[in-house]
Homo-oligomer: A and B are copies of this chain.
């Protein structure tokens, strides 16, 4: 399949009319062919209108048909073969194994949502039958979930497949019956076009309205904001920076009809080192920590950017071992020159900070990121907000607290996080029990004796957390729970069997449902 540099609107490839954009190969440090163009407002409008027009048809599909559509997308992505893998590698600087793994994750995600649709409980069917003899009589009431409407999805830079064109936001929105208008990330436009064409093919093969999916190309905040402002758009999925996410939140809140924004933005993912665990295995923890920190050149939402322990010889053991493991780390190509530049500025600020000591700082290079580790005191961390800001990349800050009370105080001071990790042994249980309620309030996922990179796609995953880790801590963007972001309940009172949606009929499909509030299969 050839990459033409076009947007995909209404199932047709069209050139944007705006400014040109090119992909950039961060390993070779050179721009790539072909030239893409930013779409104009008319093209955005057309994509959104087509999505709106497709909504009723698409959401009326049976769960089985929507499941087949999701699986067909996966098949079409696999059918792109090595052309896709090589383009992703070229556009991101990420190695083949990572990309092949991420492709597997992306296809697996689509299958997971297909299975969720077939299982059917996502409909949240509730049936309270009429009680004609009650005083006053109770009407027949039945409820189900329907999609919100067309969803604008913004692809992420750091997961060119799993959080991009056919990634988790797209898969869960489509599963919910919502057409998707996708804003491709300008750092991997070729990857986006390839996957976008696979999706258009799947739309055709399944005989769906072309408006079910559109791919918008280009760069700049203008098109994203115009997309979020469009009246046909009913929700937003976004993975990116805090500034980008909060800008979209502001646009969405200022609309005549405000809409929900699910933005996954920033997290420093604190790791708490409990005293007994630290005493027993400071070096082991340090080794695993270093491995997690440099994974994907640190370009993970769940990168462990903060480590908190009580000052003393045991924490020194950890710090020394981690510094040793990281100091020899090579500078690796980051996803884009912009990301590398931000990382190096963030590292330089920490290195020059009066209250911060550098533990490890491998030599940086243009467009690359090399591991960096710093240490500060609990008092300094508590008094200076800048020390808790995310440095996206393989850098982390150790906070040496004067005692466990200060460690808990630091936990309490943190902003919302995607994850919080405890390194603990049996003897640390009492301290962990004190910390746990704080961590529950601060994070969407709490880990014991692991590291937060590696986000399993499953039913029990929460990849989300209180603001500013996401815009909406009531949600997850990974795992089956992601579908509820794009659903709303509708109740039907005294509708005849003929008028009721099939899933609510007396002889409807055997999905899980609540009768008088009680879950049952029948």
Q: Are A148 and B474 in contact (CB under 8 A)?
A: yes
CA–CA, A142 and B449, complex, Å: 15
Closest residue on chain B to residue A512 by CB atoms:
B519
Interface residue A287 (Cβ < 8 Å from any Cβ of B):
no
Instruction: Out of B127, B139, B444, name the residue touching A490 (CB < 8 Å).
Output: B444
- Within A389-441, the residues touching B (CB, 8 Å) are 415-416, 424, 429, 432-433, 436-437, 440-441
Assembly CA distance A73 to B174 (angstroms) = 44
Q: Which of A56, A116, A481, A490 has its CB near the most chain B CB atoms (within 10 A)?
A: A490
Q: Is the CB of A446 within 8 A of B493?
A: yes
Task: Report A383 CB to chain B, min CB distance, Å.
Answer: 18
A222 interface residue per 8 A CB criterion: no
Query: What is the distance, in angstroms, from A439's C-beta to the closest C-beta of chain B?
Result: 9
A519 contacts which chain B residues (CB < 8 A)?
A: 121, 512, 519
Answer yes or no: A276 CB below 8 A from chain B CBs: no
* Residues of B with C-beta under 8 A to A460: 126-128, 141-143, 491, 514
Contact across chains for A489 and B444 when beta carbons are under 8 A apart = yes
Q: Do A461 and B141 have beta carbons less than 8 Å apart?
A: yes
Q: Are A456 and B139 neighbours in the complex by a CB distance under 8 Å?
A: yes
CB neighbours of A126 from chain B (8 A): 459-460, 481
A446 and chain B: residue at smallest CB distance: B492
In the bound assembly, the distance between CA atoms of A436 and B55 in angstroms comes to: 14
Complex contacts, A467 vs chain B, CB 8 Å: 257-258
User: Complex: how many Å from CA A446 to CA B493?
Assistant: 6
Q: Which residues of B contact A473 (CB under 8 A)?
A: 148, 488
Does A450 have its Cβ within 8 Å of any Cβ on chain B? yes
Query: Which residue of chain B has the shortest Cβ distance to A485 in the bound complex?
Result: B474
Nearest Cβ distance between residue A210 and chain B, in whole angstroms? Answer: 19
Q: A138 in the interface, Cβ–Cβ < 8 Å?
A: yes
Within the complex, which residue of B447, B454, B456, B475 is in contact with A128, where a contact is CB–CB below 8 Å? B456
Interface check A170, CB cutoff 8 A? no
Tell me, in angstroms, the Cα distance from A450 to B495 when the chains sit together: 10
Are B488's CB and A474's CB within 8 A? yes
A119 within 8 A of B: yes
Q: A84 to chain B: closest CB distance in Å?
A: 22
1/0 contact string of A113-148 vs chain B (CB within 8 Å): 001100101000011100000001011011100101
A443, A495, A518 — which one has the most chain B CB atoms within 10 A of its CB? A495
CB of A408 to closest CB in B, whole Å: 12
A424 neighbours in B (Cβ, 8 Å):
499
- Chain B residues within an 8 Å CB radius of A512: 519
Chain B hits for A456, CB < 8 A: 128, 138-139, 141
Contact check, B517 vs A260: say whether CB atoms are below 8 A apart. no
The answer, yes or no, to whether A480 is at the interface (CB within 8 Å) is yes
Asked whether any CB of chain B lies closer than 8 Å to the CB of A83, the reply is no
Residues on B with C-beta less than 8 A from A466 are 257, 488
The answer on a CB contact under 8 Å between B489 and A443 is: no
A342 interface residue (CB < 8 Å to B): no
User: How far apart are the CA atoms of A449 and B493 in the complex, in Å?
Assistant: 9
Which interface residue of A142, A148, A447 has the most chain B CB atoms within 10 A?
A: A447
Given known contacts A141-B456, A260-B474, A499 and B429 CB-to-CB distance under 8 angstroms: yes
B-contact 0/1 string along A229-260, CB 8 Å cutoff: 00000000000000000000110010001101
Evaluate contact between A516 and B448: CB separation under 8 angstroms.
Answer: no
Closest Cβ of chain B to A268, distance in Å, is: 16
Taking the nearest CB of chain B, how far is it from the CB of A151, in angstroms? 13
Fill in one digit per residue for A289-327: 1 if any B CB lies within 8 Å of its CB, else 0. Answer: 000000000000000000000000000000000000000
Contacts A128-B456, A433-B499, A490-B440 hold; do A471 and B258 have CB atoms under 8 A apart? yes
- Indicate with 1 or 0, residue by residue over A177-204, a CB within 8 angstroms of chain B CB atoms: 0000000000000000000000000000
**Cβ-defined contact, A514 with B461, below 8 A:** no
Given contacts A126-B460, A446-B491, A462-B491, 15 further A-B contacts (CB under 8 A): A56-B441, A116-B517, A141-B460, A148-B474, A249-B253, A250-B253, A424-B499, A429-B498, A445-B491, A447-B493, A450-B493, A460-B514, A462-B490, A476-B489, A481-B489
Q: Could you list 8 A-B pairs, sorted by A, with CB under 8 Å?
A: A128-B459, A148-B473, A444-B489, A445-B491, A448-B493, A458-B517, A459-B516, A519-B519
